[in-house]
Amino acid sequence: MTEPASRLERIVRSGRFCVTAEVVPPRSADGSSVEAQARALVGYADAANVTDNPTASAHMSPVAGAAILARAGIEPTLQITCRDRNRLGLTSDLLGAWALGARNLFCLTGDPVSIGDHPEATVVADLSVVELVRLAAGLREEGRLLSGATIDVPPRYFIGVADLPLAEPYDPARLDAKLDAGAHFVMTQIVYDVEAFAAWADAARARGLFERAAVIAGIAPLRSAGQARYVNDHLPGVAVPAELVRALEEAGPDAEAEGVRQAIEVVTRLREIVGLAGVHVMGMGREEAVRHVIEGAGLLPRPTGLA
């Protein structure tokens, strides 16, 4: 087996519980906010995703964001969507981001342009997510482009894909196709209902999923009961239990602190799921909340000596 170039991959292979986070590039040409987000996560996260035009709205390039993260001292995970680029653009960004320090790749279809700030934009979607994974895997394993041409110094990304375990209905075949194409890890949609997620994990384990890929569960602390209801109603595959919403309501002005407390409890319970590789903690712009969750869940210090 090839020695991993990714620190995150080495942590996962070692069997240690990993922690990842997220950085959102600004709607600006000023990279200082990316650097501030990254520095706030150093020592707390093993790697951080750099989002790619989230909510189908124009933001700084994730390739630029990955370079800023690497410079700030945290390993970047390049998020890249099929929505905005053809295979030439995707290939160029994979090569460029690797040269700038990205070592992990998270492949996505991308949010629909209808919800973004350019609803009239043309959707490219030259490649599907499965084909994008196949492109990245071909580069890693054979140094080969989709055209069949080989390159001398190919990127060797630790390749990840998304999954919605609690979606109704859930189709395991879609995730299987991504793994068959060469994905190495799975990041799930945000989890609040741990019992439902544990039931999904039992079924996934029986199918051999945890042997095929590292599964990293998504978690995001909630700020208010209103936000909890919105997330429950509008994010596909997210279920917020009624008791969590009620606790946020009863907390009143302390709802944000209660949201962090609830997130810590969720992470603590997720760690009991046999075979789960880690958690992906999203602060939605609030790195302080991410740090509180990681600290409160006993996930510090992070592994060292793997750089």
Percentage of the chain exceeding pLDDT 90: 96
Give domain status of residue 179, yes or no: no
Q: What's the pLDDT at 306? A: 59
Q: What's the pLDDT at 9? A: 98
Question: Which domain CATH number covers 130?
Answer: 3.20.20.220
Give domain status of residue 44, yes or no: yes
pLDDT, tens digit (0-9, with 9 covering 90-100), for 42-92: 999 999 999 999 999 999 999 999 999 999 999 999 999 999 999 999 999
pLDDT, tens digit (0-9, with 9 covering 90-100), for 87-144: 999 999 999 999 999 999 999 999 999 999 999 999 999 999 999 999 999 999 999 9
Any idea what the Cα angle at residue 190 is, between residues 184 and 193, rounded to 5°? 115
pLDDT, tens digit (0-9, with 9 covering 90-100), for 8-23: 999 999 999 999 999 9
Classified as helix, coil or strand, 258 is: helix
Residue 176 identity: D
Q: What's the pLDDT at 206? A: 96
pLDDT at 194 over 90: yes
pLDDT, tens digit (0-9, with 9 covering 90-100), for 174-184: 999 999 999 99
* Residues 38-48: b if buried by 16+ CB within 10 A, e if exposed: bebbeebbbbb
Element (H, E) at 135: helix 129-142
Give domain status of residue 273, yes or no: no
Counted domains in the chain:
1
DSSP assignments along 241-254, one per residue: -HHHHHHHHHHGGG
Q: Which domain holds residue 145?
A: 7-163
Give domain status of residue 23, yes or no: yes
Any idea what the Cα angle at residue 33 is, between residues 30 and 35, rounded to 5°? 100
Give domain status of residue 293, yes or no: no
pLDDT, tens digit (0-9, with 9 covering 90-100), for 146-182: 999 999 999 999 999 999 999 999 999 999 999 999 9
CA distances from residue 147 to 72, 100, 109, 127 in whole angstroms, order as listed: 35, 24, 21, 13
Give domain status of residue 171, yes or no: no
Report cis status (omega within 30 of 0) of the bond before 169.
Answer: yes
CA distances from residue 235 to 20, 55, 151, 296 in whole angstroms, order as listed: 21, 12, 40, 26
Give domain status of residue 85, yes or no: yes
CA distances from residue 69 to 56, 120, 149, 236 in whole angstroms, order as listed: 22, 32, 31, 29
pTM of this structure: 0.96
How many other CB atoms sit within 10 Å of the CB of residue 254?
11
Give domain status of residue 90, yes or no: yes
Any idea what the Cα angle at residue 188 is, between residues 120 and 138, rounded to 5°? 75
> What is the band of 1 on the pLDDT scale with cuts at 50, 70, 90?
low
